[in-house]
Amino acid sequence: MSTMEKDVAARGRRDTRKLSTRAIREAGNTLDLTFLNVDGDPDGLTEADAGRRLAKDGPNDVARERRLPALVQLALAFRNPFIAVLAALAAVSTFTDIWLPVERGEDADPTKVVIIAVMVLLSGLMRFFQEYRSARAAEALKAMVGTTATVIRRGSPQEGPVAREIPMRDLVVGDIVTLAAGDMVPADLRLIRSRDLFVSQAALTGEAIPVEKYDTLGAVAAKSATMTGGGEAEALDTSNICFMGTSVVSGTAQAVVVATGARTYFGSLAKAIVGSRAQTAFDRGINSVSWLLIRFMLVMVPVVFVINGVTKGDWLEAMLFGLAVAVGLTPEMLPMIVSSNLAKGAVAMARQKVVVKRLNAIQNFGAMDVLCTDKTGTLTMDKVLLERHLDADGRDDESVLGLAWLNSHHQTGGRNLMDQAVLHCAAGRPALAGAPAVKIDELPFDFARRRLSVVVEGAGGGHRLICKGAVEEMLSIATRVRRGTEDVPLDRAERERIAALTRSWNEDGFRVLVVATRDIPADLARPRYTVDDEIALTIRGFLTFLDPPKETAAPALAALAAHGVKVKVLTGDNAIVTARICREVGIDPGKPVLGREIEVMDEAVLRRTVEECTVFAKLAPLQKSRVLRALQANGHTVGFLGDGINDAAALRDADVGISVDSGADIAKESADIILLEKSLLVLELGVVKGRETFGNILKYLNLTASSNFGNVFSVLVASAFLPFLPMLSIHLLVQNLMYDISQLALPWDRMDEEFLSRPRKWDAGNIGRFMLWIGPTSSIFDVTTFALMWFVFGANAPEHQALFQSGWFVEGLLSQTLVVHMLRTRKIPFVQSTAALPVLLMSVLVSVLGIWLPFSGIGADIGLQPLPWAYFPWLVATLVGYCLVAQTMKQVYMRRFGRWF
Catalytic residue annotation: 374
How many helical (H) and strand (E) elements, i.e. helices and strands, does the chain have?
Answer: 34, 24
Return the number of other C-beta atoms located less than 10 Å from residue 274's C-beta: 16
Q: How far is 718 from 787, CA to CA, in rounded Å? A: 10
Q: How far is 898 from 789, CA to CA, in rounded Å? A: 39
Closest CA to 824 of 721, 703, 681, 735: 703
Burial class (CB in 10 A: 0-12, 13-18, 19+), 121: exposed
Stated length of the chain: 901
Return the number of other C-beta atoms located less than 10 Å from residue 61's C-beta: 14
Long-range contacts of residues 53-59, Cβ cutoff 8 Å, at least 24 apart: 53/172, 53/173, 53/174, 54/170, 54/172, 57/172, 57/173, 57/260, 57/261, 58/261, 59/169, 59/170, 59/261
Q: How far is 526 from 491, CA to CA, in rounded Å? A: 30
Contact 418, 579 (CB under 8 A): no
The residue ranges of DSSP E strands in 125-207, in sequence order, are: 148-154, 162-167, 176-180, 188-200
DSSP SS3 for 62: coil
Question: Would you give the distance in Å from CA 372 to the centre of its chain?
Answer: 14
Return the number of other C-beta atoms located less than 10 Å from residue 318's C-beta: 22
Closest CA to 387 of 440, 332, 356, 424: 424
Amino acid at the residue 797: A
Q: How far is 321 from 301, CA to CA, in rounded Å? A: 9
Q: How far is CA 126 from CA 282, 343, 349, 720, in A?
A: 21, 11, 20, 39
Contact 660, 377 (CB under 8 A): yes
Amino acid at the residue 478: A
Q: How far is CA 397 from CA 453, 492, 514, 540, 685, in A?
A: 20, 24, 13, 10, 47
Residue 451, C-beta contacts closer than 8 angstroms, at least 6 positions apart: 445, 467, 468, 469, 470, 473, 474, 477, 534
Q: Are strands 673-675 and 354-356 parallel, antiparallel or unpaired?
A: antiparallel
Give the up-direction half-sphere exposure of residue 824: CA atoms within 13 A in the CB hemisphere: 28
Burial code of 818-857, b = ≥16 C-beta within 10 A, e = fewer?
A: bbbbbbbbbeebeeebebeeebeebbeebbeebeebbeee
DSSP state of 829: B
Which string of DSSP letters, residue by residue, matches 527-595? S---GGG--SEEEEEEEEEE-PBPTTHHHHHHHHHHTT-EEEEE-SS-HHHHHHHHHHTT----SPEEH
Q: How far is 593 from 778, CA to CA, in rounded Å? A: 56
DSSP state of 184: B
DSSP state of 78: T
Crossing angle of helices 603-612 and 621-633, in 10° steps, is 80
